[in-house]
Amino acid sequence: MNWANEVAKRKEFIINDLVKFIQIPSVLNEDTSTEKQPFGKDIDDSLNFMLNLAERDGFTTRNIDGYAAHIEYGEGSDLVGVLCHVDVVPEGDDWTVSAFGGDIIDGKIYGRGTQDDKGPTIAAYYAMQIIKDLNLKLSKRVRIILGTDEESQWRCVDKYFEVEEKPSIGFAPDAEFPMINAEKGITDFYFLKEQKEAQIISFESGNRLNMVPDTAVAQIECESDSIEEMADDFANYLEENGLEGYFSVNENILSFNLKGISAHGSMPDVGVNAALYLCAFLSKHYKSDIMEFLGDICLNDYTGKKLGLEMSDSESGDLTVNIGRVTYNSKNGWNIGFNVRYPVTKKYEEVKKRIEKAADTNGFRLSGENNSNPHFLPSDSELVTILSKVYEEQTGEKATLLSTGGGTYARALGNAVAYGALFPGDEELYHQKDEYIKIDSLLKATAIYAQSIYELAK
Ligand SMILES: [Zn+2]
């Protein structure tokens, strides 16, 4: 079977359908949500767009109250699942083309969702369509499952798997090739201390635990006349550390504002944590054991070494620690929010024990723990073996397995990996301006998915 040829015959359809799909601005909008359109009209339109293609082409479909849907083909008791999503993140700023235009320039289709995840969704859809067109015999059923809330809370897959069967094997075309078979465990928790500081009025930094905070603001009561000295010290500190920020005085209240660099919580070393840098400065001038803890022990401790959390494995690398939110006020005291990603071969119980010990050692009360276990398929598992073989046949490249600290859609599917559609060397533009997919990559991914679905379901 020459899969690439079959894809080439359908090239115009694939491109046209992706362009129309991109033109639906399917961003979460709960203002327009109804019982049958839980995430708003635009997301529902994009779900129906895919279901209309499926009906046009004669597939069986089911829509689960607008939360999710599937497109099914084949027969048998076993089920192969391909999990995609039709929602996109907001366009953001600074696009040089229309974010929802679907413009084609120099062999690239531009628009929000071309990489994440509408391009890969269309590729997976046409992969299944090719198998149906060619009347290939399958011994299993195949479902393309369409999520609608992947970019927010995954309420779509939660609802879907409450009422529908879980596939026995599958993949999620929502990341990169060759494939991600190892996703770290993710745990969030808070260190609390209800103590009142002498001079600190408030401290506020960060919105989400899974992001490195890029601003921190502290208000301090000043008692001496050394304000100018403090302003100089702060300016010097910012300069020494290559940071930006400002300092202001109002009556006898000093405000410190420090800018860091945001990054995903799975890569704390890529960002600059504004909360920790501000604490490191303030703890030199105002006595606070908590600010000392944050500025001394936690600053740049990306692998949790000083916290006693350090662990790693060859499958997925180091445990990582991100402090995503730090707040203080005189009423509630300190609240420090952590996002920790631990290696795939480690158990949560072991991580939890160490977290409890770190809280205890440093005098905090631990609160709000929640955990998502690692997701890992060994390299010799049936799924990884089959998908590696397909990838290598189609590309001529070795299928080197990847790991991530992020959580991909594969973990919602169970016995599954994240598989494309971004190729090694392609520019990654998820959630960024001027997102595009190369038409060549789109077609190549379609061929890989067609053969993969066939091999898994034949
Ligand atoms: Zn995605």
The pLDDT value recorded for residue 29 is: 94
Phi-psi region of 62 (alpha: psi -120 to 50; beta: other; left: phi over 0): beta
Among this protein's residues, is 87 annotated catalytic? yes
Q: At 236, which amino acid appears?
A: N
176 is an active site residue: no
Please name the residues in contact with 49: beta carbons below 8 A apart, sequence gap of 6 or more.
20, 21, 24, 86
Distance in Å, CA 175 to ligand 1 centroid: 7
Q: 261 φ, ψ to 5°?
A: -130, 125
Strand-pair category, 169-172 with 416-418: parallel
Angle 373-84-207 from CA coordinates, rounded to 5°? 55
Q: What is the pTM of this model?
A: 0.85
Question: Separation of 85 CA from ligand 1 center, angstroms?
Answer: 7
Of 6, 17, 44, 87, catalytic: 87
Query: What's the pLDDT score for residue 225?
Result: 67
239: CA distance to ligand 1 center in Å? 38
413 CA → ligand 1 middle, Å: 14
The active-site residue, picked from 150, 174, 188, 313, is 150
- Nearest C-alpha neighbor of 371 from the set 210, 212, 185: 185
Say how many Å lie between the CA of residue 25 and the centre of ligand 1.
15
- Mean pLDDT, 10 residues at a time, over the chain (458 residues)? 97 98 96 95 98 97 98 96 96 92 98 97 98 96 97 94 97 97 96 94 93 95 82 96 95 94 91 97 94 97 97 95 97 97 96 98 96 95 98 97 91 94 94 94 98 98
